[in-house]
Chains A and B, each alone.
Chain A
Amino acid sequence: MGTGAFTSVSADRDITVDTAGDASAFLQFTRAEEDGGVTPNAQEYVTLPTDGAFAIDLTDTNESAGTGETGGSGVNKDAVTIFDNLVDVTNNGTQEVNIGVDLSTEPSELGIYAEDVQGTDDDLGGGFAVRNYPEDPNWDHTLGVGETLENIGVYVTDPSAISGETTYTVTIIAERVGGNRD
């Protein structure tokens, strides 16, 4: 075996990395499906280019509007609006993972939920959010290899806090069950 003094080693090694669109990535996001087809909400509100990341656009309903009709153009004031069945997420990795939205990245005027668990007004983010990540995360959802978490939706609880058209970015975390454990 090799032994001997060395002060420094610098070794270049090759890494081939494939990037993929959300629809075929290790953590896969697809438009929500129900009864074998994409849900109407997902068709209207979710964009998912084959070579990119999904986005949710709740600014208008022009795609659903009939010819000559004008679609909706935003959420109502002084109302709670729920958008069900937007996105499904699938674990295409090799280990069981916990999954959720990092609550610290979720704006207080809206919440993201999964599988019909929408939380309550005094418990914003209930359902799909992860509190206290990464120190002491409380995960609500676990996905085995190949499993899908269905019906991720958005509810807007405080439209008065939204001025005009606003874009938010939230962070979704999937981490192997058990967290860090070497």
Chain B
Amino acid sequence: MRRRRFLAGVGGLVSAGGAALGTGAFTNVEAERSVSIAVAKDYRAFLRMEQIGKEGIDGENTGRSFINGSEIAFEIPGDEDGENSNGKGVGLDSVYEFHDLFSVSNQGTQPVKLYSTYNGDSLSDLALVNDSGILKDDPPTLTVGDSIDVGLYIDTHGSHISEFDETLTIVAEKPGE
């Protein structure tokens, strides 16, 4: 999609107030301005997130990552042919890493560091991971146009047998923020 212009028209209220007071002093101004925001699907957004397919058995999709509406979502185990149907879930008191589930790329105009946060309490930990480890204390920096493959780190210590619906917050921010 095309980036929309930031529209900064002068609102009528400002002009009216200025005329009435006749000085630069004002107590209150209400000025309406337009900001155009386009909401994009994850795979076309400034922080582009796109699932990696064909990574399962016989080069089939596992379904562990998929597009749900406009957002990328995850399901462990996946429900497509490339998943191993004998694996019903991650074991308890374990740390599982599922690498290369999706790619993240920086379609902005400046470098960003990429990491995740998890505030749930059903799992001991949940995080983004790549081959250098979890994206937490020393997160990688994506330069403009850069892309990395990441996956999920799931720590089940102290957890129990269930199906958990969790939320992972994926953060990309300017280094040094």
Partner pick for A26 among B89, B165, B169, CB 8 A cutoff: B89
Partner pick for B168 among A3, A13, A22, CB 8 A cutoff: A13
Q: How far is the CA of A19 from the CA of B123 in the complex (A)?
A: 10
The size bracket of the interface on B is 35 or more
Q: How far is the CA of A10 from the CA of B55 in the complex (A)?
A: 27
Does the CB pair A15–B152 fall under 8 Å?
A: yes
Q: Mark A9-35, 1 if CB is under 8 A from B, else 0.
A: 111111111111110111111000000
Partner pick for A11 among B109, B110, B170, CB 8 A cutoff: B170
Does the CB pair B1–A20 fall under 8 Å?
A: no
Q: Mark B163-175, 1 if CB is under 8 A from A, else 0.
A: 1111111111110
Does the CB pair A94–B83 fall under 8 Å?
A: yes
Given the known interface contacts A14-B165, A15-B74, A18-B77, the answer about A94 and B1 at a Cβ–Cβ threshold of 8 Å is no
Given the known interface contacts A3-B109, A9-B171, the answer about A17 and B90 at a Cβ–Cβ threshold of 8 Å is yes
- Min CB gap A112→B, angstroms: 17
Does the CB pair A8–B76 fall under 8 Å?
A: no
Q: Which residues on the A side are within 8 Å of B162 (C-beta)?
A: 18-19
Does the CB pair A16–B75 fall under 8 Å?
A: yes
Does the CB pair A182–B99 fall under 8 Å?
A: yes
Does the CB pair B84–A146 fall under 8 Å?
A: yes
Does the CB pair B90–A18 fall under 8 Å?
A: yes
Does the CB pair A19–B92 fall under 8 Å?
A: yes
Q: Which residues on the B side are within 8 Å of A3 (C-beta)?
A: 3, 46, 107-109
- Min CB gap A139→B, angstroms: 17
Q: Which residues on the A side are within 8 Å of B167 (C-beta)?
A: 12-15
Partner pick for A1 among B44, B76, B159, CB 8 A cutoff: B44
Q: Which of B146-169 contact A (CB under 8 A)?
A: 148-149, 152, 154, 156, 159-169
- Min CB gap A15→B, angstroms: 4
Given contacts A8-B172, A17-B126, A25-B90, 9 further A-B contacts (CB under 8 A): A6-B46, A7-B177, A8-B171, A12-B168, A14-B71, A19-B162, A21-B161, A25-B88, A182-B130
Q: Contact residues of A with B, CB < 8 Å?
A: 1-22, 24-29, 51-53, 90, 92-94, 145-146, 176, 180-182
Sample (29) of A-B pairs whose CB atoms are under 8 Å apart: A1-B1, A2-B38, A2-B48, A3-B3, A4-B107, A5-B109, A8-B173, A10-B169, A11-B47, A11-B49, A11-B171, A13-B49, A14-B165, A15-B165, A19-B89, A19-B163, A20-B90, A20-B91, A24-B87, A24-B89, A25-B87, A25-B91, A26-B90, A90-B86, A92-B84, A145-B84, A146-B86, A176-B99, A182-B149
